[in-house]
Amino acid sequence: MAQRARKNSRRPAIGVTGNSKRFSPSWLCIRISLWLSGARAIRIKIGDGTDLNGLAGMVISGGDDIHPALYGEEPQIGGRYDRERDTMETTCIDFALRNDLPLLGICRGHQLINTVMGGSLHISLKTLRIQTSNAWSLLPKKKVSIEKTGRLATIVGKTCIVVNSLHSQAIAEVADRLSAVAFDDDHIIQAIEAADDHAILGVQWHPEYLCFLPTQLRLFRWLTAQAKNWENQGA
């Protein structure tokens, strides 16, 4: 079992996985979002030896596509994959699940949580999009409808939001322990959460680039609150 982070820490330590680039806009924006929410971000990169036992929550961030072998498909010609990162983040997700750490998945991370827990992905969305666009956008442009009975609707305080879109894959089959709770106009899954009371949430968009919107910052505030609860349970 993971050791509980020290209660006297004013800000819970939340691990953030990602690429190994020296400059990562996603990491910077997640770090700021967590700081604004009352948490302290700890960057987790390939081979850096981060002690996961010191964490009270975890963010699995966005990036390159997940290798299709992880959900029983063949890789695409010209696909951008990072097998080392797949392995590192799978280890982090397994650790979080074993120790009941609060978990937030962003874009690729949302997809990988579902994959690790037994779900599958659409390897490409090009032919599935009719009402929505394949063009990427950092700014909010895509409408997402949220199930009003889900945890996500309570967190963001709305059942319809507008988000950015930076993905070419999406969840196809949802893992048994998860529920799909948000969809775009093509009914492509845009958010998942634990089917029980575990603190697991995944979103297909990038809230870290939209942290100036109250609805998006609330995702990081939710994770911070869950991390504090996790610490208090072990006090």
Q: Of the listed 89, 193, 208, 231, which one is catalytic?
A: 208
If one counts every other C-beta atom within 10 angstroms of the C-beta of residue 96, the result is 25
Q: Of the listed 89, 107, 122, 167, which one is catalytic?
A: 107
Contact between 140 and 165 under an 8 Å Cβ cutoff? The reply is no
Contact between 208 and 164 under an 8 Å Cβ cutoff? The reply is no
Give the Cα separation of 150 and 113 in Å (integer). Answer: 18
Give the Cα separation of 155 and 150 in Å (integer). Answer: 9
* 3-state SS, residue 191: strand
Q: Is 208 a catalytic residue?
A: yes
The residue count for the chain: 235
Q: At a CB cut-off of 8 Å and minimum separation 6, what does 203 contact?
A: 104, 105, 106, 107, 110, 152, 163, 182, 190, 191, 219
State the DSSP code for 152: H
**CA-based R_g, the chain, Å:** 16
Q: Of the listed 122, 206, 211, 231, which one is catalytic?
A: 206
Active site residues: 107, 206, 208
